[in-house]
Amino acid sequence: MAKNTSIAETVRGLAEPVAEELGVWIWDVEFVKEGARRVLRITIDSEEGVGIEDCEKLHRAIDPILDEADPIEEQYYLEVSSPGLERELKNEDHVYACEGWDVEVRLYAPLNGSKVYRGVLLPLGENGEIRIDANGEIKEFPRTAVAKLMTYFEL
């Protein structure tokens, strides 16, 4: 896993300046195994959101840079995509970017009989706690108790 993390970090370093030139930012970089194939997934976003054209532009721009830098020894598929409306919030930058959004907090262990809470994402607590407004009730969860934090969208 550490190797894949370091590949993701290396690719992020290569992709960020390119993304910035194209007016988008890197939301996430993952190097994962899906079935029998390896996938390098670069997820991008912008204030206006991103479309297929933005993904294609970054794909075309980053492909030769990755070929030259050669950070991945094995064969892989390069995917550039949007995080979509429902996205996982994996780090503090993601939390800051999505303050005020509807989120679902999934816990490792039940708290007051529940492992899933929904509400509006608030700024992080003093010690980095995930905070939500659940129908007027402020709930705080230590980051170590949170298995997954996702935005959600309902019509």
Q: What residue segments make up the domains of the chain, in order of their start?
A: 2-81, 92-151
Is 1's pLDDT higher than 50? no
- Cβ atoms of 29 and 41 within 8 Å: the answer is yes
Is the CATH code 2.60.120.10 the one for domain 92-151? no
Return the half-sphere exposure (C-beta side, CA atoms, 13 A cut-off) of residue 35. 2
Q: Tens digit of pLDDT for each residue in 14-40?
A: 999 999 999 999 999 999 999 999 999
Superfamily of domain 2-81: RimP-like superfamily, N-terminal (3.30.300.70)
- What's the confidence (pLDDT) of residue 101? 95
pLDDT tens digits, 75-122: 999 999 999 889 999 999 999 999 999 999 999 999 989 999 999 999
pLDDT at 60: 97
